[in-house]
Amino acid sequence: MSSEIRALEPKQLWNKFADLNAVPRPSKKEERVIQFMKDFGKNLGLETIEDEVGNVIIRKPASKGMEDRKPIVMQSHLDMVHQKNNDTVFNFDEQGIEMHIEGDWVKAKGTTLGADNGLGVATIMAILESDTIAHPALEALFTIDEETGMTGAKGLKGGLLNGAILLNLDTEEDDEIGVGCAGGVDVTARREYKEEETPEFKIGYTITVKGLQGGHSGMQIHEGLGNANKLMNRILFDGFENFGLRISEIDGGSLRNAIPRESNAIVVIDAIHEAAFEAEMVEFAETLKVEFKTMEPDLEIVVSKAETPENIMDLGVQEGLTRALHAAWNGVYRMSPDIKDLVETSNNIARVIVKDGAIKIGCLTRSSVESTKLDLANTLRSVFELTGCEVEFSGDYPGWAPNMDSAILKVMVPIYERLNNGEKPHVAACHAGLECGILGTNYPDMDMISFGPNIKGAHSPDERAQISSAQKYWKFVLEVLENIPKA
């Protein structure tokens, strides 16, 4: 219930988060949240503009006594990833997020929570609304479509912002101060194929991979989580040789920035192999469960008889597809040689669709090094082109190069240590795609930093925000604002 969320401390933050989460805001469908934010700024009597791509900028003068400080930009994105459990009935286009509290965590009921990046948005809203929080001249930048293309950041024109320092509130570990991030590129493979009429003496089955955790395809790519598309392909890989298995349809994964949790396939096998096929599926399912028992304890592989489909894939294309998906790189490609424990380059095989004579495979390749990003993208391209696919690169965005000499970093580190009994923050780059790298192309002299509260399971229905961490983070935000250096 939103009432129990609104009672949490700090109330300014959680009340604004509850207000925001009442507004549907999936990526690329942000019309209502854009209007919501414009109304919010105008109702406060603050200068509020919407730029040509849909970003909202709200300007607030410095509080009394802070007029001589450097002007700042506080930035978060309005959109959220829309993921739900298979058995959850929910319409992201029409409904607000349904929240509840479990111990020290705020969660949603079977869907993503929107804490990524809603807690950042709510933070900025609370500061804009307050008449007691000390801050320098402030520009609130609310970008759109961060999760599926960063088109808001890409479309922001130079010259619109006047701030000298940008505080990006999109980091998900409260002991981390972000100084760099990965860039990314979408890799999409497509091909058409001839469907064949299903021969006689074939019987139909559905195969479902489900129960995987999913998660953020950047921040969690190193954790060894199961990828439903790769697991499904392992199940199908030798199916023709063993059982005469032919593929009719595959529908796996969803968004490029989410590790795929589920995959569904419709197949046929030779009726003569029915008993052997079912026994093999049970045995292989157990093998995979043992393999993933630590990271994916809820993994399920369900194989059940179904109506025999009328059409199946061309066999040569099927064999090429399963081998290409087996060879296509998924997971960590290279660790950074310069920053300890940082994933430098990775790929997520996010979406596999086979239906009605068409194949589409969608990947998100990330890297903090542009040359390595292209190397991995070309590795994928080569694999898919060898099986007859056309491959497209799109949505390319740059990384954010770390600046360890950042002036605002030198302000924030001692504040963090003072507030946390001498504990040092983790100053690091991350493997997620933050907007700072893109914003920096038009604002190269802006000093940028990223931080936020603890958010776990982002991009999955297990997304949750830690209440005690939000309190820690809120105090940090207020101290940082009060200590912005003089111009």
Residue 66: C-alpha distances to residues 59, 129, 210, 409 (Å): 15, 17, 54, 20
Q: Catalytic annotation on 392?
A: no
Are residue 88 and residue 106 in the same domain, yes or no?
yes
Claim to verify: residue 393 and residue 403 sit in the same structural domain: no
Same domain, residue pair 14 and 138? yes
* Total structural domains within the chain: 2
* From 30, 79, 116, 195, the catalytic residue: 79
pLDDT 10s per residue in the chain (487 long)?
578 999 999 999 999 999 999 999 999 999 999 999 999 999 999 999 999 999 999 999 999 999 999 999 999 999 999 999 888 999 999 999 999 999 999 999 999 999 999 999 999 999 999 999 999 999 999 999 999 889 999 999 999 999 999 999 999 999 999 999 999 999 999 999 999 999 999 999 999 999 999 999 999 999 999 999 999 999 999 999 999 999 999 999 998 999 999 999 999 999 999 999 999 999 999 999 999 999 999 999 999 999 999 999 999 999 999 999 999 999 999 999 988 899 999 999 999 999 999 999 999 999 999 999 999 999 999 999 999 999 999 999 998 988 889 999 999 999 999 999 999 999 988 898 889 999 999 999 999 999 999 999 999 999 999 999 999 999 999 999 999 999 9
| H or E stretch at 81 | none
137 and 190 together in one domain: no
Q: Which amino acid is at 178?
A: G
Q: What is the CATH number of the domain that holds 326?
A: 3.30.70.360
Q: Which domain holds residue 434?
A: 2-181+399-482
Q: Quickly tell me which residue has 């954010």 as its tokens.
A: 400
- Residue 93 is a catalytic residue: no
Judge whether 487 lies within some domain.
no
Is 193 found in the same domain as 166?
A: no
Contact (Cβ atoms closer than 8 angstroms) between residue 181 and residue 429:
yes
Q: Quickly list H helices, 389-466.
A: 407-419, 436-442
**Structural domain contains residue 426:** yes
Instruction: Determine contact, residues 125/40, Cβ cutoff 8 Å.
Output: yes
Pairing of strands 447-450, 165-168: parallel
The catalytic residue among 146, 173, 262, 270 is: 146
**Residue 247 DSSP label:** E
Residue 123 sits in a domain whose CATH number is: 3.40.630.10
Distance in angstroms (rounded) separating the CA atoms of residues 252 and 232: 8
pTM of the model: 0.80
CA 447 – CA 72 distance, rounded (Å): 9
